[in-house]
């Protein structure tokens, strides 16, 4: 059982376009059901409109849109194969390219926990909440070892212990490869370090 983490550089448009929101209305932070603390960035609100940086568009589109946008091809892969972890896809209007249809997915928070002892997590403070696992800033780790018995079967989900980290199951990642999905870069979970962490 392998898990993969999306590791694209969000602002690299050397090959594929990145997106910039044209509407900057944002709602509240998603909150932890236990402690009420913020567990992600503020939600972007409709109407969803973006401008793309160039003509060539990948199946995954990154940039200043959280978490990312996808093409209809990804929507179809998710629905045709019972991929679990996306609660909805909202259509996004592309203001400078009428030929592209993009969607923004709403992705669930997974139950999966990292085995912090095996991974060698170093925290600058103690974490405050057992559910969201936030509150204690993580300064370093040796590897990202999942406690695989805590996995709830989702094929795409947000990892609670590392904000902004999106995990794919082997099933979903293999389907992306079989369908020749473009602009998706992943790392095997054990080898992933977020861009803000010094290695």
The footprint of Zn ion (CB under 5 A) covers: 32, 34-35, 129, 131-132
| Contact (Cβ atoms closer than 8 angstroms) between residue 91 and residue 103 | yes
* Smaller CB separation from Zn ion, 75 or 129: 129
Distance CA 41, CA 26 (A): 10
Other beta carbons less than 10 A from residue 33's beta carbon: 10
**Residue 19 C-beta: closest distance to Zn ion, Å:** 30
**Residue 196 C-beta: closest distance to Zn ion, Å:** 21
**Residue 186 C-beta: closest distance to Zn ion, Å:** 27
* Alpha carbon distances (Å) from 136 to 19, 109, 123, 129, 194: 32, 19, 6, 9, 16
* Smaller CB separation from Zn ion, 23 or 127: 127
Distance CA 159, CA 162 (A): 6
**Residue 168 C-beta: closest distance to Zn ion, Å:** 24
* Smaller CB separation from Zn ion, 34 or 197: 34
* Smaller CB separation from Zn ion, 161 or 169: 161
Query: Who's near 46: CB < 8 A, 6+ residues apart?
Result: 23, 90
């Amino acid at each position: 059982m392998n898990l993969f983490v999306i590791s694209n550089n969000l602002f690299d448009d050397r090959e594929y376009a990145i997106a910039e929101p044209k509407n900057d209305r944002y709602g509240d932070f998603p909150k932890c059901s236990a402690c009420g603390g913020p567990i992600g960035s503020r939600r972007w609100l409709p109407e969803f409109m973006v401008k793309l940086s160039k003509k060539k568009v990948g199946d995954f589109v990154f940039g200043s849109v959280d978490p990312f946008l996808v093409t209809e091809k990804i929507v179809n892969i998710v629905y045709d194969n019972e991929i679990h972890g996306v609660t909805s896809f909202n259509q996004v209007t592309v203001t400078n390219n009428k030929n592209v249809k993009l969607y923004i997915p709403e992705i669930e928070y997974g139950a999966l926990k990292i085995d912090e002892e095996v991974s060698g997590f170093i925290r600058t403070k103690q974490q405050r909440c057992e559910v969201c696992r936030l509150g204690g800033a993580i300064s370093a780790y040796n590897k990202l070892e999942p406690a695989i018995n805590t996995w709830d079967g989702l094929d795409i989900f947000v990892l609670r212990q590392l904000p902004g980290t999106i995990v794919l199951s082997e099933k979903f990642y293999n389907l992306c490869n079989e369908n020749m999905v473009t602009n998706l870069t992943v790392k095997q979970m054990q080898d992933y370090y977020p861009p803000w962490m010094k290695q």
